[in-house]
Structure 1
Amino acid sequence: MALDTTALATRWFEEVWNHRRAETIDELLTAESVCHTDDGPVCGPDGFKQRLYHPLLAAFPDLRIQVEGVLAQDDQVVVRWSAVGVHSGEGLGFPPTQDSASFRGITWVRICDGKFQEAWQTSNIPEVLRTLSAKALA
């Protein structure tokens, strides 16, 4: 099972973020899927798209994510990732700064029947966004 969870997790980051395939979100999440983030839970594919996916891609149209490491056991997989992009678009509630930004994070996912059931994500995204917001609004 570790190979399957590893492939699904890697597919998520590559297709959803790097290839901008929103349909993969619908394919791998269910209405009951929940991701526990630093800013609270995000539920289902629609919640993920509205709270994370569309705002981040609108603000960072060139966002690229690199999977740096993957560990899997049974129905769980942990992904260590990094991302870079230029804050050149709207989408976060403040004007673009044209600054390059880099993010780092870890996402832990529990998978059942090929779907992401529950995930826990921690990253420096909130800190980076606070810094960009302060600069944009200064």
Structure 2
Amino acid sequence: MFRVRVDSCGNKEANMTTVECSPKEIGRRWFEEVWNQRNVNVITELLAPDARGHMEGGQEVVGARDFIVFHQNLLKAMPDLRISVRNVLSDGDDVCVHWEATATHTGTAFGIPSSGRKLAFNGMTWFRVDNGVIVEGWDCWNQGGLFAQMSQAV
């Protein structure tokens, strides 16, 4: 457990205070608050200033600013993106989140123009947490399957 200043690890009823938030809770908050609630402030709260994100396909982002650009670009192309957490495993400072996502492809993403298609894909994100913040993350998901769905016309 880490002592961090957060909104009680996502507990809306508590005031801003110092609370204990496990790496597992940080992993869940990342998907619920950053992706589903579109709360960009949580990105800067949960990422270390020099956090490294190793994205599927070899792209790397460093720090909150880079990740926010990635986040905004993906949401422009898939504005109704919804991510469901299926399982969260943790061992010490390491957290692995298995997730499933649905979205409608309404804008250019990964160089593929809008297809208007409903998309479904899944993957895993591995986080390394240190002192209550994410310091590194690795994404692994079915990019080939997603690209195939995006490339087909409605």
Same fold, judged at TM 0.5 (above): yes
Corresponding position of 2:57: 39
Candidates 59, 72, 75, aligned match of 2:77: 59
Candidates 141, 148, 154, aligned match of 1:123: 141
Contact kept, 8 Å, 2:85 with 2:99, in 1: the verdict is: yes
> Match for 2:62: what amino acid?
C
| Runs (5+) with no aligned partner, structure 2 | 3-20
Q: Which has the higher helix share?
A: 1
Corresponding position of 1:135: 152
**TM-score, structure 2 normalization:** 0.78
> Match for 1:8: what amino acid?
I
Is residue 107 of structure 1 aligned with residue 125 of structure 2?
yes
Superposition deviation, residue 94 in structure 1? 4.1
Is residue 86 of structure 1 aligned with residue 70 of structure 2?
no
Where 2:38 maps in the other structure, the secondary structure is coil
Is residue 48 of structure 1 aligned with residue 47 of structure 2?
no
Corresponding position of 1:7: 25
* Higher RCO (CA 8 Å, separation ≥ 6 residues): 1
C-alpha spacing 1:54/1:35, structure 2 compared with 1 (3 Å) = same
> Match for 1:89: what amino acid?
G
Where 1:98 maps in the other structure, the secondary structure is coil
| Runs (5+) with no aligned partner, structure 1 | none
> Match for 1:58: what amino acid?
K
> Match for 1:135: what amino acid?
Q
Superposition deviation, residue 104 in structure 1? 0.6
Candidates 18, 21, 39, aligned match of 2:36: 18
Superposition deviation, residue 103 in structure 1? 1.5
Superposition deviation, residue 129 in structure 1? 2.9
Identity %, equivalent residues: 37
What root-mean-square deviation, in Å, do the aligned CA atoms of Structure 1 and Structure 2 show?
2.0
Aligned residue pairs, count: 134
Rg comparison, structure with higher value: 2
Q: Distance in 2 between matches of 1:71 and 1:93?
A: 33
